[in-house]
Structure formats: C-alpha cells, structure tokens
C-alpha cells in the first residue's frame, strides 16, 4: 500500500477527484503502461527474429524499412521502461527534468522514424508498380541503406530545438510531474513539426497509395477485358502472376499505414489543440499518447495476420524453439 501511495503522489492521475479514486486511476495507468511495454518489446523482438529466420522476406526491398520500423518500435518499448520503473523508484530534482526531456525526445524521434519509413515504403511500392522495368536500377540496397541513415539523421535533428527551450517535442500523458507542469507545448514549434514531418509524410502516403490502387484497378479492368475477349488459361495466369502479388503486398502495407494514422490522428489533433491553448485535458493527454504508442505493437499483429511468408517464418521459428525445448 505504501508503494501505491507513493505512485499516487508523484504521477499525474487525470481522472482522480478524490484520494482513493486517484489511487485507482494511478493503478490503472500503471497496468496500461506495463502491459504495453511488455507487448511492444515481445512483439517487435518476434518480428526481428522472424525476418532473420525467413529468407523469403528479404526478397522485398521494403523489408529494409519494415525491419527499421521494428527496431524503432522495439526501442519505443525499451524507452517505456523509463516510466514503468519510475512508478516504483521516483526521482526528484534536476534528474527529473533531464529524464523527462530525454524520454520525450527519444519517443518523438523513434515515432518520426516509423512515420518516415511508412512514407518511404509507399514511394517504394509506387516505383515498383509504375516503373517495373527500371525498378531494380532505381532501388538498390546501397540507396536503401543511405535512405534509412538519412531518416534517422533527419528525425534526430527535427526535434533537437526542444532541448533549447523551443517547445515540447510532442510527448503528452506525462508520467513525470515536471513534464506536465513546467514543460509546455509551443504553437510555433508544433507548426514547425507539422510542416516538416506530419504533413509531408501524410501527403506522400496519400498521393502514392491513391495512384497505386488506381493503377491496380486499371490492371484488373484490363485483365477482365482480356478474359472476355480471349477466354484462355494463359491470360489468367499471366495477369494473376504479374499484378496480384504486388497488389496484395500493397494492401498489407496500406493496412499498416492506415492503422498507424488512425491511432496517431487523435494524438496529433490533441497536440495541435494543446499547443494553441484551446484544450488542456490530462485524461485525453494520457489516452491519446498511449493509444499512439500502442501502434508499435499493432504493426506486429497486422503483419503477422496479413503476410503469408511472415506467418511461415513465424511457424518455423516456433517449431525451432519448441524442438530446442
């Protein structure tokens, strides 16, 4: 009970109107954070191991970006150990502000990497479908590695001004008291992040997937016309072999992207409203933050349910672990 009382004193419990209610809310917040931390770490470790155990997954150039997202999401889970441990060992003084700033910066950078990777994946699929003959010359392993390095550098630089007092990098649902009371958002810095990160990534994704599915519909229409004119098995086989795999894989990646923005949209909206001083609600802050962070686990679920090659690799990994046990 003493540890629970300690938690209630130091955590910002948004829904607590009375002392016991505050304790209950703090316990609920603790359960949510600990559960998400465990799921994110376990899920992304599984994805990383499956990619190493399933050579067929490396045939897709997007596997570079998928693995980068998996590592970024894994680091998100590891970073979430900071608030998890702070629930039991609360630190005060200057270390609290430093820990808060570093934690908020790292979380923002990691999610920026995921967002940029999703945009790059959409561009990669767009090139694969629109320029199939020159795709292998345009997209090479060396260029992919350079692109991933640039993503990490850009993500680290764009949130760096927050260390010099220019706003908050976007982390809400504050666990530390200093983050909630002393580190405030700034409308100009928020606009800076939106213009240089959120808006360009969303525009690129919308543009590329719109044209990808438009082209896929045109291919489907052409195949149906050929079937009507020349009802032969060769036409069916050629059409299905040429376009169905690309379309199915594009759908898997589109689901991942859609879930990402569905979970992050409430967070981004609240981020904008709080920065403009229109809305400040600790309960919404906590819910939108950890809803967005839960995306780091959802990527694993979507990919495992949607990709047959990944499921095969996961089954082989499970068989290997079971046989060794």
- Does residue 232 belong to any structural domain of this protein? no
User: With 0-12 CB in 10 A as exposed, 13-18 as middle and 19+ as buried, what is 317?
Assistant: middle
**pLDDT, tens digit, 9 for 90 and up, residues 199-248:** 899 899 889 888 888 887 787 777 777 777 766 554 444 444 444 556 66
Does residue 103 sit within a domain? yes
Residue 213 lies in a domain: yes
Read off the pLDDT of residues 203-214 as tens digits, 9 standing for 90 and up.
Answer: 998 898 888 888
Count of Cβ atoms closer than 10 Å to residue 289 Cβ: 21
pTM metric for this prediction:
0.78
Whole-number Å distance between alpha carbons of 111 and 137: 30
The residue segments making up the domain with residue 175 are 27-226+245-324
Query: Is 20 contained in some domain?
Result: no
Q: How far is residue 234 from each of residues 224, 230, 238, 239, measured CA to CA in Å? A: 13, 9, 6, 8
Q: Where are the alpha helices (DSSP H) in 89-160?
A: 94-130, 135-138, 141-158
Q: Which two tokens stand for residue 284?
A: 């919404």
The two tokens of residue 106 are 């790292």
Residue 133 belongs to some domain of the structure: yes
What is the rounded average pLDDT of the residues 18-24?
55
Structural domains counted in the chain: 1
Residue 222 located in a structural domain: yes
> Is residue 280 in some structural domain?
yes
- What is the CATH classification number for the domain harbouring 122? 1.20.1070.10
Asked if residue 21 is part of any domain, the answer here is no
């Amino acid at each position: 009970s003493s540890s629970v009382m300690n938690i209630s004193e130091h955590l910002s419990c948004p829904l607590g109107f009375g002392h016991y209610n505050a304790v209950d809310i703090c316990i609920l917040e603790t359960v949510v954070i600990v559960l998400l931390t465990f799921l994110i770490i376990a899920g992304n470790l599984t994805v990383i191991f499956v990619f190493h155990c399933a050579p067929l997954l490396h045939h897709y150039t997007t596997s570079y970006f998928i693995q980068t997202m998996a590592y970024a999401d894994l680091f998100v889970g590891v970073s979430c150990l900071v608030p998890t441990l702070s629930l039991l060992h609360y630190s005060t003084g200057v270390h609290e502000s430093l820990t808060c700033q570093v934690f908020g910066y790292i979380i923002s950078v990691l999610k920026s990497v995921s967002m940029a990777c999703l945009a790059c994946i959409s561009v990669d699929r767009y090139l694969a479908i629109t320029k199939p003959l020159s795709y292998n010359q345009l997209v090479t392993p060396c260029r992919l590695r350079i692109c991933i390095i640039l993503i990490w550098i850009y993500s680290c630089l764009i949130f760096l001004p927050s260390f010099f007092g220019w706003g908050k990098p976007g982390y809400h649902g504050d666990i530390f008291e200093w983050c909630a009371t002393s580190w405030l958002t700034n409308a100009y810095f928020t606009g800076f992040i939106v213009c240089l990160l959120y808006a360009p990534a969303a525009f690129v994704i919308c543009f590329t997937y719109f044209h990808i599915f438009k082209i896929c519909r045109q291919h489907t229409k052409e195949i149906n016309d050929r079937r009507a004119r020349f009802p032969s098995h060769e036409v069916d086989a050629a059409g299905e072999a040429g376009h169905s795999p690309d379309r199915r894989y594009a759908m898997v990646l589109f689901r991942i992207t859609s879930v990402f923005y569905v979970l992050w949209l409430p967070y981004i909206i609240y981020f904008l409203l709080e920065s403009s001083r229109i809305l400040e609600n600790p309960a919404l802050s906590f819910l939108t933050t950890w809803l967005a962070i839960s995306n780091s686990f959802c990527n694993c679920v979507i990919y495992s349910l949607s990709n047959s090659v990944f499921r095969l690799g996961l089954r082989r990994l499970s068989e290997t672990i079971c046989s060794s046990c």
